[in-house]
Amino acid sequence: MISSMTAFAREEYRGELGNMSWEIRSVNHRYLEAFLRLPEELRALEPNIRERLNNRLGRGKLDVSLKYKAGTSGDASLCINQRLVEQLIDVDQQLADMIELDPSMRSGDLLRWPGVLEEEERDYTPVKAQAMQLLETALDSLIDNRLREGERLGEIIGLRCDALASEVGRVRGLMPDVLESVRSRIKDRLNEVMEELDESRVEQEMVLLAQRLDVDEELDRLETHIEEVRRVLESDEPIGRRLDFLMQELNREANTLTSKSNSVDVTRSAVEMKVLIEQMREQVQNLE
């Protein structure tokens, strides 16, 4: 199926482990590149996250953000740094003895001292597991969105292919009249200057002119490339790079057709072809 590289997904979890949410934004890029924003306590997940992104996505520039707020049941308990408290009391007693006063440090003073109250280290293993599970759901949503967008882009490219094929057919229909018009103009000109002409030179010029006006090869290649675009659109594999190459080839043939044109109508059709090709190219840039 056709997959776009442009999509967005957001998934949220609320439960006893706390609140967390994943946001993934994806735009077109030559290869897969991910920028991660993770909370400090879950930063160890980064290698696992990148592995999952690489396994499930082919191309795209990703902005991946995880937000997390611990729940009340997961709050770490506080404990007293007993050794530090004993040292503070001892220092306070020594100072009181030096100035011959009663010790002045109270329990409130001790609790406010930096490092007296410590937060016990928390086990984030369940939180990490939940975060990775939620990431899978977010990636499912992102891929679904990319596929829906890709399907829409494929329809647009298909319509442009139909319009392009119509212009190619139009030029084919115009060419007999164009060639006949050129021949008539040459004959009229020859009649005017017949006495001054070298017959061998005339034949050479006619051959060169015929070669310059012959666009059958360009029209054949345009039709071949259009059919290839249609075939690629039916492929189940990533198609962005191949379609991008085909757009370059289509544009090359349209440019050659324009340079060979000796008719206003053919030029107009060639310009319309280039417009259609550029419109397809813009859509192809978003395909994986």
Q: Which CATH number, 3.40.1350.10, 2.30.30.90, 3.40.190.80, 3.30.230.10, labels domain 7-74+124-146? A: 3.30.230.10
The pLDDT confidence band at residue 28, using thresholds 50, 70 and 90, is very high
Average pLDDT, the chain: 83
For residues 225 and 184, the model is more confident at 225
**Average pLDDT of 129-158?**
95
Indicate if the pLDDT at residue 207 is higher than 60.
no
**Average pLDDT of 108-116?**
59
Q: Parse the chain into domains and list their residue ranges.
A: 7-74+124-146, 78-119, 148-284
Indicate if the pLDDT at residue 219 is higher than 70.
yes
pTM of the model: 0.72
Indicate if the pLDDT at residue 151 is higher than 80.
yes
How far are the Cα atoms of 173, 200, 212, 267 from residue 184, in angstroms, in the given order?
18, 20, 17, 20
**Average pLDDT of 77-99?**
67
Indicate if the pLDDT at residue 125 is higher than 70.
yes
Indicate if the pLDDT at residue 194 is higher than 90.
no
**Average pLDDT of 218-233?**
94
Range of 31-40, 73-82, 106-115 with top mean pLDDT? 31-40
Nearest residue to 128 (alpha-carbon basis) of 24, 51, 18: 18
The pLDDT, as a whole number, for residue 71 is: 73
Give the tens place of pLDDT for each residue, 60-85: 999 999 999 987 655 556 666 677 66
**Average pLDDT of 87-95?**
68
For residues 32 and 113, the model is more confident at 32
How many Cβ atoms sit within 10 Å of the Cβ of residue 272?
17
How many Cβ atoms sit within 10 Å of the Cβ of residue 192?
9
The pLDDT confidence band at residue 273, using thresholds 50, 70 and 90, is very high
Per the DSSP assignment, residues forming a β-bridge with 60 are 32
The pLDDT, as a whole number, for residue 247 is: 96
Indicate if the pLDDT at residue 143 is higher than 90.
yes
Q: How far apart are CA 243 and CA 256, in angstroms?
A: 20
In the block, tokens 């939180």 appear at: 127
Indicate if the pLDDT at residue 201 is higher than 70.
no
The pLDDT, as a whole number, for residue 238 is: 87
Q: Which helix (H) or strand (E) holds 250?
A: helix 240-260
Indicate if the pLDDT at residue 257 is higher than 90.
no
Low-confidence winner among 59-73, 107-121, 248-262 (lowest mean pLDDT): 107-121
Q: How far apart are CA 88 and CA 277, in angstroms?
A: 79
The answer to whether 281 touches 273, Cβ cutoff 8 Å, is no
**Average pLDDT of 15-31?**
93
Q: Is 154 helix (H, G, I), strand (E, B) or coil?
A: helix
DSSP state of 287: B
**Average pLDDT of 265-278?**
93
The pLDDT confidence band at residue 261, using thresholds 50, 70 and 90, is confident
CA angle 73/75/80 to nearest 5° reads 135
**Average pLDDT of 141-151?**
95
